[in-house]
Amino acid sequence: MLNKYARAFFTRVLTPFAAFLIRRGVSPDTVTLIGTAGVVAGALVFYPRGEFFWGTVVITLFVFSDLVDGNMARQLGRSSRWGAFLDSTLDRVADGAIFGGFALWYAGRGDDIALCAVSIFCLASGQVVSYTKARGESIGLPVAVNGLVERAERLVISLVAAGFSGLHAFGVPGIQVLLPIALWIVAVGSLITLIQRVVTVRRESAEADAEARNASHGGAAT
């Protein structure tokens, strides 16, 4: 849902900014690299220290680079396999830093081994969810399924919860429970999404194999 509607909205909003960067001679790849570096820095500098509000502010400032670089590439007419590869690869790096930052907090001063494990599961499952789609497409399957919790949902749920949880440092009572709740939601949702994609790939591969066999038998009959 977020990929379909929110991405289209923010793409329109960020188009003038993308055009400004193009006029300044900034390349889409530069935006991708700077955006990822900002997300990684915000996650690994602030989150392990429990500074969730400021960490989320920094990450949010940079996370929209994922929309800006693509917008710039389209305006320049330079959409390329390399740009898509770089963008997808660095998305995985950014996601790993965010959930790695949560895991470091709970393994350290957060002192909650269960939530540390949930954070690691969110990190790993997010990578595997992305891999299942990429691998399915690489063997010629459409992987036509909208998963329950994809990357956009994982980021929004986690960052919104982290940002609000960080308000505990400003005296807002009880709000820190939002982050653990969000991590459990992302973990369960990612598991369901993974199952959805595996089931879809299994069905699509069976259908493709059946079509190939029928085509082969048809060709042999002629």
The residue annotated as part of the active site, out of 91, 95, 111, 112, is 91
**Cα–Cα distance measured from residue 191 to residue 126, given in angstroms and rounded to the nearest whole number:** 9
112 assigned ligand-binding residue? no
30 assigned ligand-binding residue? yes
Is residue 91 part of the annotated active site? The answer reads yes
132 assigned ligand-binding residue? no
200 assigned ligand-binding residue? no
11 assigned ligand-binding residue? no
140 assigned ligand-binding residue? no
32 assigned ligand-binding residue? yes
15 assigned ligand-binding residue? no
Is the CB of residue 18 less than 8 Å from the CB of residue 71?
yes
69 assigned ligand-binding residue? yes
Q: Label residue 212 exposed, middle or buried (CB < 10 Å: 0-12, 13-18, 19+).
A: exposed
Sequence ranges of the binding site: 29-32, 66, 69-70, 74, 80, 87, 91
- Which residues are annotated as part of the binding site for a CDP-1,2-diacyl-sn-glycerol? 29-32, 70, 74, 80
Active-site residue list: 91
